Amino acid sequence: MELERKPDLDRVLERFEAWWHGAILDRPPVTISVRPDRPPRLPDTPHACLRDRWMDVEYHVACAEARADVGVYGVYLAETFPCYGPGMGPELAATVFGCELRFAPTTTYAIPIAGSCRDILGMQPDLDTPYWNAVRAMTDLSLERGRGRWLTALPDLHTNGDLVAALRNPQDMAIDCADDLEGVRLACDHVTDVAYALMFEDLWNRIAARGQPCATWTPALHAGPAYPVSCDFICMVSERIFQDAILPAILNEMRYLDCSVFHLDGPGALRHLDALLDLPELNAIQWIYGAGNGPAARWIDVYRHVQATGKGIQLVCEDTEDACAVAEHLKPEGVWFCPGGEYDRDEAEAFINWTARWAAGKQ
């Protein structure tokens, strides 16, 4: 398919398909932000409260339209493309089990409802909620307004252990891990079994019906179902607890998908890296070292370890200089460059050209 501002989208998809499988075409994928000529003219829509703003379907899609028109990235170079991901915050999945949301300016929080992890075993998902219906409506309207202009992505879905933590409360779930580890595993398995495919397919089927590839917040592309699997809660638990109680649900999610990248968030989660790398179903790692722990060049041993197991890397780094410093220690197959910051077009194109020369010189 083609987009007005990204006519080479099919080539972008080809580069990502190679990346998912640890290969490379002419060069590695690159996602890079180019400074826009002017800021987007976002709609000036008054809202009485934060909840009204979060739930305003027309407002959110109008914002996406304004960003796509000006190019929130200025221009869309390399594997950068116009995209809008409807969402209701990271704990949206908890709302289909009955949670209400508390709204903040830039995120939302689920209000826990489970008295114990075993209480979750009796819960069944219901997609007919105000929050899920709002995301459905955003998806449908984005697909209509964005046809030929931008891609509509799947929302941020924190599932498996993160979903249980949202229903239970993270601190209480941590206590459950000590007092009733079997109950934690049962809860993680339950929410995955009854809700993951239900939620994913409800939105993915709408997107696929319009002939679009699968896009998410990462933002990678794949022709079929693909997703950044995650569990931020694992930074709070030991290797044994992770492998016994949470990893089975994560593995079930990966088996449902064509391709997956694991969002490994923060140094506290690194203890679980080997267990993840042992999974043949996993394609790649997105290592997020977190504020105050950069640059990426501090973590070269982590990237090399990932590559040694045959997995791909989404290289999220400080800037292009940081990306180059890490790349010198890596092979090009399976590397996707995502430097932070914004760049003039000439600077961005120079970096993209450098990645092609780097890859050619390494092969």
| Residue 1 scores a pLDDT above 60 | yes
| Residue 112 scores a pLDDT above 50 | yes
Q: Would you say 287 and 306 are in contact if contact means Cβ atoms under 8 Å apart?
A: yes
Cα separation, 261 vs 16, in Å, equals 12
Residue position matching structure tokens 């973590």: 299
**Stretch 111-137: mean pLDDT:** 98
Q: Taking all residues of the chain, what is their mean pLDDT, rounded to a whole number?
A: 96
Residue position matching structure tokens 């120079």: 350
Taking only Cα atoms into account, the Rg of the chain, rounded to an integer number of angstroms, comes to 20
Residue position matching structure tokens 């009733």: 180
Q: How confident is the model over 191-203, as pLDDT tens digits? A: 999 999 999 999 9
Cα separation, 55 vs 47, in Å, equals 10
Interior CA angle at 35 toward 33 and 37, to 5°?
Answer: 145
Banded pLDDT at 68 (limits 50, 70, 90): confident
- Each domain of the chain, given as residue ranges in start order, spans 1-23+74-81+219-223+258-363, 37-70+82-213
**Stretch 266-286: mean pLDDT:** 98
Q: How confident is the model over 236-245, as pLDDT tens digits? A: 999 999 999 9
**Stretch 205-220: mean pLDDT:** 97
> Which residues does 14 contact at the CB level (< 8 Å), separation at least 6?
25
Beta bridge partners of 214: 222
Residue position matching structure tokens 């990502």: 16
pTM: 0.95
**Of 47, 87, 51, 83, which is closest to residue 67 (Cα–Cα)?**
83
Cα separation, 362 vs 108, in Å, equals 44
Q: Would you say 245 and 275 are in contact if contact means Cβ atoms under 8 Å apart?
A: no
Banded pLDDT at 75 (limits 50, 70, 90): confident
Q: What are phi and psi of 214, to 5 degrees?
A: -85, 120
Banded pLDDT at 73 (limits 50, 70, 90): very low
Banded pLDDT at 363 (limits 50, 70, 90): low
**Stretch 309-321: mean pLDDT:** 98
Report percent pLDDT > 90 for the chain.
92
Q: Would you say 334 and 311 are in contact if contact means Cβ atoms under 8 Å apart?
A: yes
Q: Would you say 16 and 222 are in contact if contact means Cβ atoms under 8 Å apart?
A: yes
> Which residues does 268 contact at the CB level (< 8 Å), separation at least 6?
235, 236
The domain 37-70+82-213 having CATH identifier 3.90.25.10: the answer here is: no
**Stretch 78-82: mean pLDDT:** 96
Banded pLDDT at 2 (limits 50, 70, 90): confident
Runs of H (alpha helix) within 130-196: 130-145, 160-168, 170-179, 181-191
**Is 158 exposed, middle or buried, given 0-12, 13-18 or 19+ CB atoms closer than 10 A?**
buried
Residue 357 has which token pair? 């020369």
pLDDT, residue 74, reads 59
| Residue 70 scores a pLDDT above 80 | no
Cα separation, 72 vs 33, in Å, equals 8
One-letter amino acid at 311 equals K
Report percent pLDDT > 70 for the chain.
98
Q: What sign results for the dihedral spanned by CA atoms 89, 74, 297, 301?
A: positive
| Residue 300 scores a pLDDT above 70 | yes
Length reported for the chain: 363
Q: Would you say 180 and 117 are in contact if contact means Cβ atoms under 8 Å apart?
A: yes
| Residue 72 scores a pLDDT above 80 | no
| Residue 44 scores a pLDDT above 90 | no
Q: Would you say 315 and 336 are in contact if contact means Cβ atoms under 8 Å apart?
A: yes
Q: Which helix (H) or strand (E) holds 352?
A: helix 345-362
Residue 342 has which token pair? 């914004």
What letters, b where the CB count within 10 A reaches 16 and e where it falls short, cover 56-65?
bbebbbbbbb
| Residue 71 scores a pLDDT above 80 | no
pLDDT, residue 161, reads 98
Q: What sign results for the dihedral spanned by CA atoms 85, 86, 92, 96?
A: negative
